[in-house]
Structure 1
Amino acid sequence: MDISHRTVLIVGGTSGIGRELARRFAAAGSTVAVAGRDPRSLADLAAEGFGAFTLDVTDGPSVTAARDAVLARHPDLDTVVTMAGVMLLEDLRDPAHFDTARTTIDTNLLGTIRVIDAFTPHLVGRGAGTFVTVTSGIAFLPFPPMPSYAASKAAVHAYSEALRAQLDGTGVGVVELVPPAVATAGQEKVNPHALPLDDFATEAMDLLSADPTPREILVKGVLMHRWAERDGTYDELVAQRSQALTMLPGRRS
């Protein structure tokens, strides 16, 4: 993928990985717009020169309105990155977790689908473009304290595979970005092994700019997650990660 002359929309790009990718695309020479819910962050990004659009992926009319506003300003849009998401703890012994599960699925999975549905006619109509979906190493190696997060990201992986097959021949590609734990929003405090954001972004952009671009963007730090079943380490690693269940209230002993 030539990252130097694209027109890119990053949905969920107001902080963390998304914001850094926006800056990297812009530094490479692309025109970049960012969409999200936080008005203060959007104002900051607008001050940096990015297009900034209000969009709530859990609200269909909000997605449609943002789509129309983006295309009015950027009719040459050719790349849509869908990365809005939430990571929430759940104790499956407590039925009250269902609200958390519903929020997670609505944001991470259905939010991704809403964004893709909104922009598919435009990209297919152009006869060229790219969707970049964002999953997680946790899609392939579950983190037990966040079961619905793992399930939602595994679902986005499967959806991405099916989307790629259905769009074959249209000129629209589908690339799946698979981050490991990255040191954003306090992740470095929860996980001291989290990959520094700058290192992740550098490696991810190098992979995105490869020709041909891989179907899955797998930085070195996520390979142990992606290939755990193939490598025979899955059960051992899930058992190790299950020790983190002490993060849940009432399970600290």
Structure 2
Amino acid sequence: MNISGNTIFIPGATSGIGLALALALRAKGNTVVVGGRRAEALARIASEHPGIDTVRVDVADAASIDAAAKEVLARHPELNVLVAMAGIMQVEDWHRPESFLASAEQVVTTNVLGPIRLIGAFVEHLQTRPDATIVTVSSGLAFTPLKATPSYNASKAAIHMLSESIRLQLADTTVKVLELEPPSVRTGLMPGQEDNEHAMPLDEFIAEVVELIETRPEAKEIQVERVKFLRYGEARGDYDQVVATLNATDPHGK
């Protein structure tokens, strides 16, 4: 993916990593469209950041995704990058079904079906562009599980394998598949995460991500140094130690 000259749609970007990435990519000379559920948040972004377009979209709702895709492509037919950013993370107790079933269904609908539906809404258009990219967003927890969030871990593992698979299928097109694999980052994804000393500061994470995109335009995965501890535990042969360390230090792992 080239760092500039793109037209990019980032749903789930009204806060956290999504918004920070949108602003950083805008600063690099891209046209950026931000999507989200909350109209007031979108209005605030449009007011505070002139030049960034916004569209309302609920990635847990198939009809909303279809409507947003039509709106985005009508206004930005040159769109060539989709960042499937939206996701939720919830603590679950799998000892009792009433403690996890509703949460698990919500997580899978948002984190797995959401990106699948987004890609489905844009993939034909992206194949018409001379240079296009689908950016998926997995997690370090796709490779090392956090005890407290089983469905989130599983959803991100699914996104990793989805990315690997569609990259193979789309190899005969102009569409690249780039997987972003964040570590824990100081955002509002989970209660207390913004102040978690074990999480990576958001500005540092975004700066490293942008640098990696800029210096490695042909990369298949974007991995900041912090995530490699989780990403490569099995390859290094210290997977059990990585699992124990993660769950001993993360406030949600107890």
Superposition TM-score tier, normalisation by shorter sequence: over 0.9
Corresponding residue for 1:227?
232
SS of the residue corresponding to residue 61 of structure 1 reads helix
Equivalences for 1:80-91 in 2 at 5 Å? Answer: 80-91=82-93
SS of the residue corresponding to residue 175 of structure 1 reads strand
Q: Distance in 2 between matches of 1:217 and 1:156?
A: 14
Equivalences for 1:1-253 in 2 at 5 Å? Answer: 1-47=1-47, 48-49=49-50, 50-96=52-98, 97-185=100-188, 186-189=192-195, 191-243=196-248, 247=252
SS of the residue corresponding to residue 218 of structure 2 reads coil
Runs (5+) with no aligned partner, structure 1: none
- Write the letter of the residue equivalent to 1:192: E
Deviation at 1:242, TM superposition (A): 3.6
Q: Distance in 1 between matches of 2:36 and 2:242?
A: 34
Deviation at 1:223, TM superposition (A): 0.5
Aligned residues of 2:7 and 2:32 also touching (Cα < 8 A): yes
Deviation at 1:241, TM superposition (A): 3.3
Deviation at 1:172, TM superposition (A): 0.3
Aligned residues of 1:134 and 1:176 also touching (Cα < 8 A): yes
Q: Distance in 2 between matches of 1:178 and 1:130?
A: 16
Aligned residues of 1:207 and 1:213 also touching (Cα < 8 A): no
Cα deviations by residue, 1:68-125 (Å, 9 ceiling, x for unpaired): 0000110000000001000100001021111100000110011010000000010012
Aligned residues of 1:144 and 1:244 also touching (Cα < 8 A): no
- The alignment's C-alpha RMSD in Å is 1.6
Deviation at 1:210, TM superposition (A): 2.4
Deviation at 1:127, TM superposition (A): 4.2
Aligned residues of 1:127 and 1:170 also touching (Cα < 8 A): no
Deviation at 1:188, TM superposition (A): 3.5
CA 1:82–1:243 in structure 2 vs 1: closer, same or farther (change >3 Å)?
same
CA 1:93–1:6 in structure 2 vs 1: closer, same or farther (change >3 Å)?
same
Larger deviation: 121-130 or 84-93?
121-130
Q: Distance in 1 between matches of 2:65 and 2:20?
A: 22
Deviation at 1:11, TM superposition (A): 1.1
Aligned residues of 2:141 and 2:156 also touching (Cα < 8 A): yes
4+ long deviations beyond 2 Å: 125-128, 210-213, 239-248
Q: Distance in 2 between matches of 1:239 and 1:200?
A: 24
Q: Distance in 2 between matches of 1:247 and 1:59?
A: 28
CA 1:245–1:73 in structure 2 vs 1: closer, same or farther (change >3 Å)?
closer
Q: TM-score, normalised by structure 2?
A: 0.93
SS of the residue corresponding to residue 215 of structure 2 reads coil
- Write the letter of the residue equivalent to 1:239: A
Query: Percent identity between the aligned chains?
Result: 46
